[in-house]
Structure 1
Amino acid sequence: MSIEHDREAPQVLSSHQAQIALARLCVERPTGIDREQLADTIWPDGPPSTWASALRSVVSRLRAFLSKESPTTSEPLLIARGGRYLLQLPEGAQVDVDRAESAAVSAAAAYRDGDHGTAQRLAVTAVSLLRGPFLASHEGEWVDSVRSRLEEVRVSALETASNSSSALSDTHHALRYADEAVRHAPFRESAYRCQMTAHRLAGNRAEALRIYQQLRTVLAEELGIDPSPESEAAYLGLLSSPWSMLPDIPSPPQAVPSHALS
Structure 2
Amino acid sequence: MGDSALLIRLVGLVTIEHDGTAPQHLSSAQAQVAFARLILERTSGTSRDQLADTVWPEGLPDTWASALRSVVSRVRAYVTGPLQKPGGTPLIAQSGRYVLRLPDDAAVDLEAAEAAMTEARTAFADGAHAVAHQLAAGAVSNLRGSFLPAHEGEWVNAVRERVDELRLMSLELASLSSSALGAEHHAVRYADEAVRRAPFRESAHRCRMTAHAAAGNRADALRAYQQLREVLADELGIDPAAETQAAYLELLRA
TM above 0.5, yes or no, is yes
Name the CA distance, whole Å, in 1 between partners of 2:18 and 2:84. Answer: 12
5 Å-filtered alignment, 1:12-31, equals 12-31=25-44
Matched, 1:80 2:93: yes
**Matched-pair contact (CA < 8 Å) for 1:96–1:129:** yes
The match for 1:178 is: 191
Please give the per-residue CA displacement for 1:91-119, whole angstroms capped at 9, x wherever unaligned.
20111111111111111111111110000
1:162 aligns to what SS in structure 2?
A: helix
Matched, 1:154 2:167: yes
Matched AA of 2:92: I
Instruction: Tell me, in whole angstroms, the C-alpha distance in 1 between the residues paired with 2:220 and 2:37.
Output: 44
Residue of structure 1 aligned with 2:110, choices 94, 97, 107: 97
Amino acid at match of 1:101: E
* Gap change, CA 1:151 and 1:123, over 3 Å in 2: same
Aligned match of 1:48: 61
Structure 2 counterpart of 1:108, from 121, 124, 133: 121
Asked whether the equivalents of residues 121 and 132 of structure 2 are also in contact (C-alpha less than 8 Å), the reply is yes
2:92 partner SS: strand
Q: Give the Cα separation in 1 of the matches to 2:19 and 2:188.
A: 34
2:144 is aligned with 1:136: no
Q: In 1, Cα distance between the equivalents of 2:234 and 2:145? A: 31
Distance 1:12 1:217 in 2: 45
- Aligned residue number for residue 228 of structure 1: 241
Determine if contact 1:73/1:90 at 8 Å carries over to the other structure.
no
Unaligned runs of 5+ in 2: 1-13
Confirm or deny: 8 A CA contact 2:120 2:136 kept in the other structure: yes
Shift of 1:72: 6.0
* Secondary structure, aligned partner of 2:80: helix
Superposed displacement of residue 75, structure 1? 2.9
Q: State the number of aligned residues.
A: 241
Aligned mate of 2:203, from 170, 190, 195: 190
Deviations 1:142-187 (A, max 9, x none): 1111111111111111111111111111101111111111111111
1:230 counterpart letter in structure 2: E
Alpha-carbon RMSD = 1.2
Q: Which residue of 1 aligns with 2:253?
A: 240
- Partner of 2:144: helix, strand, or coil? coil
Residue among 15, 20, 27 paired with 1:7: 20
CA distance in 1, matches of 2:204, 2:142: 20
Quick one: which of 47, 51, 60 aligns to 1:34? 47
Q: Check if 1:163 corresponds to 2:166.
A: no
User: What does 1:195-214 align with in structure 2 at a 5 Å threshold?
Assistant: 195-214=208-227
TM-score (norm: length of structure 1):
0.89
Deviating above 3 A after TM superposition, structure 1's stretches of 4 or more consecutive aligned residues are: 70-73
Give the Å deviation of 1:67. Answer: 1.2
Q: Which amino acid aligns with 1:82?
A: S
> CA separation in 2, counterparts of 1:62 and 1:222?
44
Q: Which has the higher contact order (CA 8 A, sep 6+)?
A: 1
Deviates more, 1:53-62 or 1:70-79: 70-79
Amino acid at match of 1:29: R
Work out the percentage of aligned pairs sharing the same amino acid. 61
3-state SS of paired residue (1:148): helix
Match of residue 69, structure 1, among 75, 82, 85: 82
Cα-to-partner distance string for 1:202-238 (whole Å, 9 max, x where unaligned): 1111111111001111111111111111111111111
